[in-house]
Amino acid sequence: MNDALSEIAPIIHVSGKERAVLDVVFVHGLTGDPYQTWLAGSSGEFWPKWLCSEFPGIAVYALGYSASLFEKWARREMNIHERAANFLEHFAAYNFGERPIAFVCHSLGGILVKEILRVSKECADKDWQRIATQTRLVAFIATPHTGASLAAAVRLIAPRLSSQFIDLLSNDSGYLTSLNQAFRDLAQGSDIKAVSYYEKWKTKNIAVVVPPESADPGCGQIRPVAVEADHFSICKPKDRDSIVYLSLCRHLKGLWTNGMVSGATQAAALFDADDYQAPADSDRRDLLQKLIDAGREHEYKLANAYQNQFAQKYNKLGLFTDAKQRSDALLSAVEQRFVTHVYSDKICKDASDEEVADALQEHVIDALCKPNGSGPGPSAKAVLQALYFLTEQCYIRWDAP
């Protein structure tokens, strides 16, 4: 994935369903990268993909653009207004705006998103207008909404570096003030919810780049949240228990709770995308045969009991109930984690039974059982029931191809 994202592409589909009900778009900041900016602090995982296991039915994207510190490079780049228009045309070409959108932005990325929304709102192009109309959430991670904090700190950290973006963020022209007022007006007159986070640690032990007063967009009833990080680590949550990730999950969940994403549309899309009641078309061996072929026949009695227990409860849930949506979410998460961390990474590479068991415990059972932004996790038994149900329904296998 690193190689694929090393060349800056305008819009990168990270993960998620083609028939999603919500697009989540990540936008990096000054000198950032659509991949490196969003690596988790401890594991180095590309953490935007975590959201797909938390929220089946979403699609995750990352925007890529050049934003240099060096003036001689920056002269060849688009200014912020040109970049916003460029992205709006890309969005229109890729049919963004057909469903609700959530933006997650770091530093300068938040300024760019506000400019995108302003141009979208003010232009006559109806395809461009849909971006502002469909935006439901903007999460600002260390974005300077007012004042010269970022420009001053960058000049303090690297006094010989300069670019049009640093000059822009000095707010000498009043651009930040004007842009933020436009965003406030848009948010107050629409369904857009804004959340923000600011760093508590000094960057390079020199200065806090975005203090709380600059991190506050001044709209809505959500207060900026302090994070124990500096300006560059704040967008790299250590794990799923980190406050930025937990908070983002809470606010994404709130889009459904508050009716900002249609529950009926969500349910239909989830059912169409992940109809686990129907067996998959590939590998139609039954549970017993799959376990025999994998040398795991001794597990069949318990596995069959587990999958039957899950199937009985699952088939009683109906089509679009909340309970079925939770079961679909669990099945999707189990399938994704098993295929990625156990099947592809271990079984297909002839790992030992012990290695497979360890991977299953760590990456599927333990990972899914711990509490997350949507509430307490399922029990270990529920995860195993889902796992063997997926095996019976032909969505996963235990032996290498």
| Phi, psi (deg, nearest 5) at residue 393 | -85, 10
* Per-residue pLDDT, 120: 97
What Å distances lie between residue 293 and 285, 296, 340, 401, CA to CA?
A: 10, 8, 21, 11
Residue 350 burial (CB count, 10 A):
8
Structural contact between residues 217 and 140, judged by C-beta atoms closer than 8 angstroms: yes
Q: For residue 16, list its beta bridge partners.
A: 59
* Per-residue pLDDT, 227: 97
| Phi, psi (deg, nearest 5) at residue 268 | -60, -45
Confidence of residue 266 (pLDDT cuts 50, 70, 90): very low
Q: What is the pLDDT of residues 279-296, one digit of tens each?
A: 776 677 888 999 999 999
Structural contact between residues 169 and 162, judged by C-beta atoms closer than 8 angstroms: no
Stretch 186-200: mean pLDDT, rounded?
Answer: 91
Percent of the chain at pLDDT > 70 equals 79
Q: What is the pLDDT of residues 115-132, one digit of tens each?
A: 999 999 999 999 999 999
Tell me the domains of the chain and their CATH numbers.
Answer: 2-264 (3.40.50.1820), 275-392 (no CATH)
* Per-residue pLDDT, 307: 92
In the predicted structure, residue 145 carries a pLDDT above the cut 90: no
Q: What is the pLDDT of residues 157-182, one digit of tens each?
A: 555 555 665 666 666 667 888 999 99
Q: For residue 46, list its beta bridge partners.
A: 39
Helix-helix angle 380-392:300-315, to 10 degrees: 90
Q: Looking at this protein, which amino acid is placed at residue 311? A: A
Structural contact between residues 171 and 152, judged by C-beta atoms closer than 8 angstroms: no
Q: When comparing pLDDT for 6 and 249, which is higher?
A: 249
In the predicted structure, residue 1 carries a pLDDT above the cut 50: no
